[in-house]
Structure 1
Amino acid sequence: MSSSPFKETPHIKPNGAEIAETILLPGDPLRAKFIAETYLENPVQFNEVRGMLGYTGTYKGKKISVMGTGMGVPSIGIYSWELINVFGVKNLIRIGSAGALQDNLNLYDIVFGMGASTNSNYASQFNLPGQYAVTASYELLEKAKKTADEKGQKVHIGNILTSDTFYNADKSAAGKWKDMGVLCIEMEAAALYLNAAQAGVNALCILTISDHIFRAEETTSEERQTSFTKMMEIALELA
């Protein structure tokens, strides 16, 4: 058990329920609910503060938790910091959606974020004497790739962009990131990776392409909530 039944924060109040050392972190709390109800045995809800649903159960005999994080760097920054530093979580796997930048990426493709470029200022709090290369945990990345291979699931691995802006006034920005080989755009991974690195724990971002920035292609909110099962099933194996 990673969490004391007596610990709580302003944002996470388990009321005696356990939080496992490995947790899946979708942005959408309803996706967390879907995963708990679809995949976990004997799920117990450990959070509902601000509607950010969290559950702990077992998957193939291993204890695992899942919890929503909301949208953007500030939101996942809060939740991941508390999960790591208050509740003792050791492995944090973001599972989310992303907008593709590269031509060889299509709807429903899976991306592992090996690195996370960002236009966020989140790293400034650490007062580092230079620019920090924000990267995933190799331990989780290697295990996720092995799991994908065993499932016969093709994945893309590389640099992603964590953006603070969903509606960017600079219309040329996406093209510049594309030219640098960045695979896709999401809004949370860099903060998760930074918090994990500072605390010496593991983090990985697994994404499903929900839309393409340069093509008129996108999925619906309902599809994003319940249909990204291949990504979920890879993440669940990391417990």
Structure 2
Amino acid sequence: MDKLYHTALDDSHGAKYAILPGDPGRVEAIAKYLDDPKEIGHNREYLTYLGKLEGENVLVMSTGMGGPSTAIGVEELYMTGVRNFVRVGTCGAMKLDIVGGDVIIATGAIKLDGTPDEYVPKEFPAVADFDLTEKLVKASRDLGYTTHTGIVECKDSFYGQHNPDRMPVGYMLKNKWEAYKMANCLASEMESSTLFTLGSVLRARTACVLSVVWNQERQKAGMSNPENHDVDSAIKVAIEGIRQDILNNK
């Protein structure tokens, strides 16, 4: 096949698995956990490395921030033969018992973002693949990380969350935020619901592991609020979860 327009990839990579950070700056750091990693593409926000894990080809590709670029990246990876997608990223926690440095593995997402609306009706849920998610949970606990599982909020506007009073619809953003907290939402990020929705539509397996940066609700409550900008824990969980999936399917 010809190289695709956005990702500049074709199907010669032979990978069925892809690890998806948002930030291109994290791609090489993730690829170092693979055997024989090498860059195979870089176009727009899509930086791609190819390596091996337990003898299986695995891609690491950045998606950029938000749903639209994530959807394009996942669509084109699927066209080239990828069938298993694991997002590795960061989030801000909402529950008071979650602190910076904890690991969150999302089982589903609130579709506050707009991209899924161009794939499915609004009431259609955004849910991770159970089997792949279960492997991430086991990997995280085996690695000794404080691990949380549950629903995350997926939004389009970073500053809508952090400065809602400046927004004409700030009243709505704040009311929804409080409702999500009451419904036991764990954290907020920007790509998971698009990934999960595409998984359902494409019949692909999707999962998401997040490293918690901080917790604005703990800060508002006057509680200790350590910040953590090291995503190594989420990376290791993704690598070990995929490793176990590969071994179990051999």
The residue type paired with residue 26 of structure 1 is: P
The residue type paired with residue 103 of structure 1 is: L
Out of 105, 123, 126, the position equivalent to 1:112 is 105
- For 2:145, what is the secondary structure of its paired residue? coil
Distance, in Å, in 1 between the alignment partners of 2:180 and 2:187 is 9
- Corresponding position: 1:142 with 2:134: yes
Out of 217, 223, 234, the position equivalent to 1:231 is 234
Gaps of at least 5 residues in structure 1 are 1-5
Residue in 2 that maps onto 1:204 = 207
Q: Please state how far the C-alpha of 1:202 moved relative to its aligned partner.
A: 0.3
Q: 1:218 to 1:68 in 2, by over 3 A?
A: farther
Q: Please state how far the C-alpha of 1:122 moved relative to its aligned partner.
A: 2.5
The residue type paired with residue 134 of structure 1 is: A
Distance, in Å, in 2 between the alignment partners of 1:157 and 1:60 is 27
- For 1:209, what is the secondary structure of its paired residue? strand
Deviations 1:178-212 (A, max 9, x none): 11110000000001111111011100111010121
Residue in 2 that maps onto 1:77 = 71
Out of 17, 21, 28, the position equivalent to 1:22 is 17
Aligned pairs for 1:12-91 (under 5 A) are 12-14=7-9, 18=13, 20-36=15-31, 38-84=32-78, 86-91=79-84
- For 1:113, what is the secondary structure of its paired residue? strand
Q: TM-score, normalised by structure 1?
A: 0.87
Q: Please state how far the C-alpha of 1:19 moved relative to its aligned partner.
A: 5.2
- For 1:48, what is the secondary structure of its paired residue? strand
Q: Please state how far the C-alpha of 1:123 moved relative to its aligned partner.
A: 3.0
Distance, in Å, in 2 between the alignment partners of 1:188 and 1:136 is 12
Q: Please state how far the C-alpha of 1:17 moved relative to its aligned partner.
A: 5.3
Q: How many residues align?
A: 226
Out of 147, 154, 157, the position equivalent to 1:165 is 157
Q: TM-score, normalised by structure 2?
A: 0.83
Distance, in Å, in 2 between the alignment partners of 1:30 and 1:215 is 29
Deviations 1:67-105 (A, max 9, x none): 111001111011111111x11111100000001100000
- The structure richer in helix per residue is 2
Out of 103, 119, 123, the position equivalent to 2:116 is 123
Residue in 2 that maps onto 1:3 = none
Q: Please state how far the C-alpha of 1:18 moved relative to its aligned partner.
A: 1.1
The answer to which of 110-119 and 146-155 deviates more is: 146-155
Q: Please state how far the C-alpha of 1:214 moved relative to its aligned partner.
A: 2.0
Distance, in Å, in 2 between the alignment partners of 1:40 and 1:135 is 28
Distance, in Å, in 2 between the alignment partners of 1:83 and 1:43 is 18
Residue in 1 that maps onto 2:167 = none
Q: Please state how far the C-alpha of 1:218 moved relative to its aligned partner.
A: 6.6
Distance, in Å, in 2 between the alignment partners of 1:49 and 1:138 is 32
Identity between Structure 1 and Structure 2 (%) = 27
Residue in 2 that maps onto 1:153 = 145
- For 2:13, what is the secondary structure of its paired residue? coil
Mapped contact 1:13–1:46 kept (Cα < 8 A): no
Mapped contact 2:11–2:80 kept (Cα < 8 A): no
Distance, in Å, in 2 between the alignment partners of 1:114 and 1:150 is 19
Mapped contact 2:103–2:212 kept (Cα < 8 A): yes
- For 1:96, what is the secondary structure of its paired residue? strand
Distance, in Å, in 1 between the alignment partners of 2:5 and 2:178 is 40
- For 1:53, what is the secondary structure of its paired residue? strand
Q: Please state how far the C-alpha of 1:42 moved relative to its aligned partner.
A: 1.2
